[in-house]
Structure 1
Amino acid sequence: MNNIVILPIIIPFIIGAILIILYKRHAVQRVISGITMLILLAFSVFLAIYVYQHGTVVLEVGGWKAPFGIVIVADMLSTLMLLLSTLVGAACMFFAFQTIALDREKQFFYPLFLFLMVGVNGSFLTGDLFNLFVFFEVMLISSYGLIVHGGTGYQLRESFKYVIINVFASALFVVAIAWIYSIVGTMNMAHIAQRVAELDQAGALNIIAIMLFIVFASKGALFPLHFWLPKSYYGPPAAIAALFGGLLTKVGIYAIIRTFTLIFNHNLEFTHKGLLITIAGVTMFIGALGAISQFDFKRLLSYLIISQVSYMVMGLGIFTPLAVAGAIYYIAHHMIVEPALFLFAGVTQKITGTTDLKKMGGLIGTHPWLTWMFFIAAISMAGIPPLSGFFSKFPIILGGFEAQHYVISGVALLVGLLTLITMMKIFSQVFWGKQKHTEEQGKIPVGKLLLPILPLIALTIILGFAAEPMFTYSMGVAEEIMNPTNYIESVLKE
């Protein structure tokens, strides 16, 4: 079983390389890419179930024992993230089949897509801090190609900020890795956690924690490193924007959760209850204000990402089992609903030819299925019961009040209200009111476009009505990562 843990990394890498050779055969690329994503999804489900039933699985690459060799670690958190990422990837891939123009397909779209999945899956599964950097770079290089895919002037201009901030973050990542290696003498995260617990260098470790937080916050679009996201995600096609919205920011959030539960848990008052909660509250509020002020569908959703990822950081900052379990639950909710909303933006753009809310209206009359599917996703994002948004936000906010973090909990409630207003603004201007698109546009069929989104909508309903088993699973993940002994012992074989 240990050897199959590396397959989510190896499979998309090999297939991506093969598709480069087949770059002129677009139909073949589509078939192979679709089958690959379905295989990855099926395997991710199997691995998540296996780890849940049998515990953490560790692969020592090349037979080199930890902490000297490279390890691939599949625990409950990493397998959940792997499952969600492949689900979102599959939905975006099948949506792209129907929406990506041929001239964009020619520019190595499918190889770049699969190489991005290599970086994302590797980031979730690696047990080595330096290899986390390596997989980050694989993911980022692929995203550079996808974010400028098509080569429009707007994409090239706005993606420049995205590239620059990530180059800066990557350089800072290397510096932080070098510093922590000089202190503990290892790159294995389990071994670092073990060494940190034995050391009395709180000051240096706090500085390294801040440096790594800056690195991961730039990927997760947390204040004040959020400015690149709204315009960068506006340029690419809906399938790519949905992929980025669902995966890239969550890799940064995952890295924060992993490092601040496993390594930087020696000074909770400074790192968690100070740094994390403060940044979460400010980011949450700024993102919500940005979203409610926008009148472009995709830009609005981009600001919404900024506000919503803060709930995950908030739960980690509170650092009680209830709040952390809520954060895990919320990751699952957000990775399902946010890509669905971006894909809906792509569908409405396909019909109306615009993403300007002021130029849209009356889609409920011509496309009722699209309207009500969007409505479900919208109220789930706003946290209305009985959908997943409510049952994932509730334990975070409840945990905040129980831990006497009244300010951040109040801000979270206010942002929830602002999110509801934002979603209703989209619904009223795009779907309700007077029809602004032509009769010909009203006859455009979108059934095939809605099929890849349907599983995401079904899941937000299922995760709401199955809140008890989902929260039980999330609580199991929270208890496992808040007590890193199991992770350390599994990796170091103690």
Structure 2
Amino acid sequence: MSNVIILPVIIPFIIGAILILLYKRHTIQRVISGITMLALLALSVYLAIYVYQHGTLVLEVGDWEAPFGIVIVADLLSTLMLLLSTLVGTVCLFFAFQTIARDREKQFFYPLYLFLMIGVNGSFLTGDLFNLFVFFEVMLIASYGLIVHGGTGYQLRESFKYVIINIFASALFIVGIAWIYSITGTMNMAHIAQRVSELDQTGALNIVAIMLFIVFASKGALFPLYFWLPKSYYGPPAAIAALFGGLLTKVGIYAIIRTFTVIFNHDTGFTHKGLIVTVAGFTMLFGVLGAVSQFDFKRILSYHIISQVGYMVMGLGIFTPLAVAGAIYYIAHHMIVKTALFLFAGATQKITGTTDLKKMGGLIGTHPWLAWLFFITAISLAGIPPLSGFFSKFPIILAGFEEQQYVISAVALLVGLLTLFSMMKIFSYAFWGKQKHTAAQAKIPVGKLLLPILPLVALTIILGFAAEPIFTYSMEVAEDIMNPTNYIESVLKE
């Protein structure tokens, strides 16, 4: 059974390589890539259920025992992230079928898409710190191709910052890996965790922790390393922007959660309740202020990515089972809702030809389904009950007050109010008011565009109304990752 957990990496690799050879056959590429993503989604559902029922799965690649060989690890957290990533990838791909221009398809869109999934899935499943770097690079190289896909001047200009910050982060990642190897003599994360618990080098470990936190913070768009994101995510087509907005920053957040629960848990007063909580507060505040100041649909959503990842790392920083469970719940909620919102932005742009809110209006009269489905996801992002946004924020803020983290808890509440304000600004400008698009634009059908988004809207409702079992699952994930002994024993077979 353990061999199955390598399939989410192997399948997109093989299919992506085949699609390179079929780059002129657009219809065949669509069919094959669609079937591939549906298969990966079904496989991820199966793995999540199996691991929940039977426990952590470990594959020792090449039959080399850990910690000497490469290991692939599927535990509760990694299978949940795998499930969410394949869900987002599937939805965005089917939306791309309706919106991606034919000339962009010719530029190896589908191979790049699947290679991106290799890096994302591998990052979630690897149990080796160096291979986490390798899968990050695979993901980033594919993302470089997708973020400039189509080659418009704006994309090329704004993606330059995205490339530079990630090159810098990758170089720092290598330095951090080398340093922790010099301290522990291993790259296996479970083995590093075991060695860290035996060492008395708190100062050196804290420096490495800060270094790796900077690396993952730059990829997760945390303060102050978020400046590259808003304009970079504005340029690509809606399907790519939705994929990036819903997925890529969460890989960085996952890496922070994994390393700061398994490895860097030796001085939580400094790393978690000091560094991470402070960064989370500034990330939430500066991100939402950027969103409030904008009058462009996609840029508001881009700034909200920044503010919302602050909630996730806030839960980790408070570092209680309740807070971490809330962070896990919030990751699931945000990946679903943020992807849907970017796709709604793409649908409205298809009708109006713009994302400038001042040039939009009256869509609720011509496209009511689009308007009200957007409204549901918008208020979910803002944290209005009984949707998923409320039930994922509530445990994080509650844990903050319980741990006497009053300042960041107050910031989180304020950010929620400002998020609601900015989302209602989108609704009032784009969907309410006087119709500004032409009669011909009013007749543009969007039914096919809404079909891939409907499962995401349904999920944010389900995650709200089924909050108790969902939170119970999130609590089990939190308790599992906060007890690194489970992870260490599963990988090292102790």
Structure 1 equivalent of residue 265 of structure 2: 265
The CA distance in 1 between the partners of 2:177 and 2:412, in whole Å, is 33
* Counterpart residue identity of residue 359, structure 1: K
The CA distance in 1 between the partners of 2:283 and 2:325, in whole Å, is 21
Q: Report the Cα offset of residue 446 of structure 1.
A: 0.2
Structure 1 equivalent of residue 27 of structure 2: 27
Q: Report the Cα offset of residue 182 of structure 1.
A: 0.5
Structure 1 equivalent of residue 450 of structure 2: 450
SS across alignment from 2:73 = strand
Alignment of 1:226-375 (within 5 A): 226-375=226-375
Structure 2 equivalent of residue 105 of structure 1: 105
Aligned CA RMSD, in angstroms, stands at 0.3
SS across alignment from 2:452 = coil
* Counterpart residue identity of residue 161, structure 1: K
* Counterpart residue identity of residue 395, structure 1: P
Give 4+ residue runs of structure 1 displaced > 2 Å after superposition: none
Q: Report the Cα offset of residue 212 of structure 1.
A: 0.2
SS across alignment from 1:451 = helix
* C-alpha distance after superposition, 1:197-242 (max 9, x if no partner): 0000001000000000000000000011000000000000000000
Structure 1 equivalent of residue 175 of structure 2: 175
* C-alpha distance after superposition, 1:300-332 (max 9, x if no partner): 100000000000000000000100000000000
* Counterpart residue identity of residue 435, structure 1: Q
* C-alpha distance after superposition, 1:246-305 (max 9, x if no partner): 111000000000000000000001000000000000010000000011001111100000
* C-alpha distance after superposition, 1:58-116 (max 9, x if no partner): 00001000000000000000000000000000000000001000000000000000000
* Percent of pairs with identical residues: 87
Q: Report the Cα offset of residue 415 of structure 1.
A: 0.1
* Counterpart residue identity of residue 162, structure 1: Y
Q: Report the Cα offset of residue 459 of structure 1.
A: 0.2
Alignment of 1:451-470 (within 5 A): 451-470=451-470
The CA distance in 1 between the partners of 2:376 and 2:348, in whole Å, is 16
Q: Report the Cα offset of residue 11 of structure 1.
A: 0.3
The CA distance in 2 between the partners of 1:466 and 1:474, in whole Å, is 12
The CA distance in 2 between the partners of 1:292 and 1:337, in whole Å, is 19
* C-alpha distance after superposition, 1:333-374 (max 9, x if no partner): 000000100000000000000000000000000000000100
Structure 2 equivalent of residue 132 of structure 1: 132
Q: Report the Cα offset of residue 475 of structure 1.
A: 0.1
Q: Report the Cα offset of residue 163 of structure 1.
A: 0.2
SS across alignment from 1:149 = coil
The CA distance in 2 between the partners of 1:224 and 1:471, in whole Å, is 31
TM-score normalized by the length of structure 2: 1.00
The CA distance in 2 between the partners of 1:360 and 1:52, in whole Å, is 46
Structure 2 equivalent of residue 59 of structure 1: 59
SS across alignment from 1:453 = helix
Alignment of 1:79-228 (within 5 A): 79-228=79-228
Q: Report the Cα offset of residue 429 of structure 1.
A: 0.3
User: For structure 1, which runs of at least 5 residues remain unmatched after alignment?
Assistant: none
SS across alignment from 2:72 = strand
The CA distance in 2 between the partners of 1:340 and 1:219, in whole Å, is 21
The CA distance in 2 between the partners of 1:228 and 1:422, in whole Å, is 21
* Counterpart residue identity of residue 291, structure 2: A
SS across alignment from 2:207 = helix
The CA distance in 2 between the partners of 1:398 and 1:252, in whole Å, is 25
The CA distance in 2 between the partners of 1:469 and 1:12, in whole Å, is 32
Q: Report the Cα offset of residue 170 of structure 1.
A: 0.2
Structure 1 equivalent of residue 400 of structure 2: 400
The alignment status of 1:13 with 2:13, answered yes or no, reads yes
TM-score normalized by the length of structure 1: 1.00
SS across alignment from 1:73 = strand
Tell me the number of residue pairs that the alignment of Structure 1 and Structure 2 aligns: 494
* C-alpha distance after superposition, 1:362-420 (max 9, x if no partner): 00000000001000000000000000000000000000000000000000000000000
The CA distance in 2 between the partners of 1:369 and 1:170, in whole Å, is 43
Q: Report the Cα offset of residue 445 of structure 1.
A: 0.3
The CA distance in 1 between the partners of 2:108 and 2:295, in whole Å, is 33
* Counterpart residue identity of residue 341, structure 1: L
Structure 1 equivalent of residue 437 of structure 2: 437
SS across alignment from 1:299 = helix
* C-alpha distance after superposition, 1:140-183 (max 9, x if no partner): 00000000000000000000000000000000000000000011
* Counterpart residue identity of residue 327, structure 1: A
